[in-house]
């Protein structure tokens, strides 16, 4: 299911004519999720995870400047979703820097990076919920590589 839309991740597609920059934020996000799946990194898409990530994306997208993206990971299970969302909102607004930040929020490991110099059409906020045994740093590295790779969207 799509992170916010409730539609399957691969439903629909965008046709790109030669030389046309018709890539949008949703397309980039779906591509990243597919790359994570191909790397056998299992993400969580349960109701709590979708609500937490969706709420943070909506709240933070308004404050992230053009050309930047905040990427975060959080380990599951999320037992205190409302408190965790509030703490994450504050942490990501104030604390996400170029360097990776790493915190434990209500028992969940959180990692975050603020990427600068990303193309305009990339999502402003990307969040991923994963199982506790998975290293969130691997997800951040793969996402950063995709968003900052030259010619990725040509």
Distances 86 to 12, 49, 83, 91, 119 between C-alpha atoms, Å: 33, 14, 5, 9, 28
Average pLDDT over residues 125-130: 96
User: Could you tell me if residue 68 is inside a domain?
Assistant: yes
pTM confidence score = 0.81
Pairwise CA distance, residues 133 & 11, whole Å: 30
Domain range for 101 is 25-148
User: Could you tell me if residue 16 is inside a domain?
Assistant: no
| Count of the separate structural domains present in the chain | 1
Residue 2 near residue 32, CB atoms below 8 Å? no
- pLDDT, averaged across the chain: 84
User: Could you tell me if residue 38 is inside a domain?
Assistant: yes
Per-residue pLDDT tens for 7-49? Answer: 444 333 333 333 444 568 889 999 999 999 999 998 999 999 9
Joined tokens for residue 151: 């010619």
User: Could you tell me if residue 7 is inside a domain?
Assistant: no
pLDDT: is 112 or 2 the higher one? 112
User: Could you tell me if residue 92 is inside a domain?
Assistant: yes
User: Could you tell me if residue 87 is inside a domain?
Assistant: yes
Per-residue pLDDT tens for 136-150? Answer: 999 999 999 999 986
């Amino acid at each position: 299911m799509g992170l916010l839309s409730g539609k399957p991740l691969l439903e629909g597609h965008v046709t790109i004519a030669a030389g046309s920059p018709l890539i949008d934020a949703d397309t980039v996000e779906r591509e990243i999720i597919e790359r994570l799946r191909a790397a056998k990194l299992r993400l969580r898409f349960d109701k709590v995870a979708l609500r937490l990530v969706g709420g943070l994306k909506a709240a933070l997208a308004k404050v992230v400047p053009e050309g930047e993206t905040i990427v975060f990971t959080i380990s599951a299970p999320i037992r205190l979703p409302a408190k965790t969302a509030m703490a994450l909102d504050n942490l990501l607004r104030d604390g996400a820097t170029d360097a990776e930040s790493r915190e434990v929020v209500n028992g969940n490991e959180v990692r975050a990076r603020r990427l600068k110099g990303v193309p305009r059409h990339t999502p402003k906020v990307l969040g991923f919920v994963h199982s506790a045994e998975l290293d969130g740093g691997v997800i951040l590295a793969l996402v950063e590589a995709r968003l900052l790779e030259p010619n990725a969207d040509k």
